[in-house]
Amino acid sequence: MSKNADFSQLEQFLKNNIKAFEEFPSWIEKFFLREANRALDKIIERHNEVYAATGKTVDTRAMLLSWYVSDVRRVGNDLEVTLGNPQDYSSFIEFGARNVNGSWRDGYFIMTIPIDRIQRQLPERFNRDFKAYLQSKGAT
């Protein structure tokens, strides 16, 4: 007496997992770029909030328009994305600086605060998005 087993669902599950594995590098790059752009939006919001609250408008337009996100780069096994502002005075506005008279002017942490918030949310966002990715590939 012989028994036949239908392994078609298992075969499809394995094919789906292989496809998800092969497409993962592209997905993770898109995820990090999306998160970097989300951070950039929050940085620009903070920039506008800080300058609205302080009433300082001198030279801020150039700084506001200079925020950027780089493309995602692979460096060995790591992914890198850069958020920055090339204005030479942006670090002084971010972290503070010594005034001409020697007193200290505090920074506004225009970039630091939004990045910290994004980093705290990143594990939850990754888990949610990765689960959705696997489900979209039929790999769960």
pLDDT for 95-109, tens place per residue? Answer: 999 989 999 999 999
Task: Give residue 125's domain range.
Answer: 20-136
Within-domain flag for 29? yes
pLDDT of residue 69: 97
Number of domains in the chain: 1
Instruction: Provide the whole-model pTM.
Output: 0.83
Within-domain flag for 12? no
DSSP annotation of 6 reads -
How many CB atoms lie under 10 A from the CB of residue 48? 13
Within-domain flag for 10? no
Segments of the chain with pLDDT less than 70? 1-2, 56-60
Which of 41, 52, 70 is CA-nearest to residue 108? 52
Distance set, CA 32 to CA 43, 122, 126 (Å): 16, 10, 9
- Taking the C-alpha atoms of residue 51 and residue 95, their distance in angstroms, rounded to an integer, is 15
